[in-house]
Amino acid sequence: MFVDYTEVLLESYPSMCSTVLASGIIDAGYLVLIGMLDETRGIYVSISNINCLPNILFRKVKHIKDFVGGLNNFVSEAEMLRGYKNVLAKMKSIMW
C-alpha cells in the first residue's frame, strides 16, 4: 500500500518542488521532493513503493539540483505511520 505523505512534507517544507515518477512493474513509482531552507541548506526526500526496502529516503542537499548530496537516511512506512512528527524531527536534525 502506497501512502501519500506529500501534504505533510510540503507543509513542513513549503519551498519544496516535487516530481512524481511512475516507474514500472518492479517498484510502482516514486515521489521526489527537494526543498531549500536557505541558499545552501536543503533536503531531498524520495518516497517509493518498493516493498522490500524502507519507503522513505532523505538527505541534506546544498542546492535544488543536488541529486548526490549528503548521506542517505531511511525511514520505513511503518515508522511514519507510528507518528510523522518523529520522522520530521529526524529530517530537520540533518539540516544543522
Residue range 41-85, pLDDT digits in tens: 888 988 877 666 667 889 999 988 887 878 999 988 788 788 888
Alpha carbon distance 54, 63 (integer Å): 25
- Give the model's pLDDT for residue 34: 86
Does residue 25 surpass a pLDDT of 70? Answer: no
- Give the model's pLDDT for residue 58: 92
Does residue 4 surpass a pLDDT of 80? Answer: no
Place of cell 512528527: 85
Q: How many CB atoms lie within 10 A of CB 89?
A: 10
Sheet of 30-36, strands arranged across: 17-21, 30-36, 42-48, 56-61, 73-75
Q: With a threshold of 0.75, does the pTM exceed it?
A: no
Q: Which of 34, 53, 54 is nearest to 44 (CA)?
A: 34
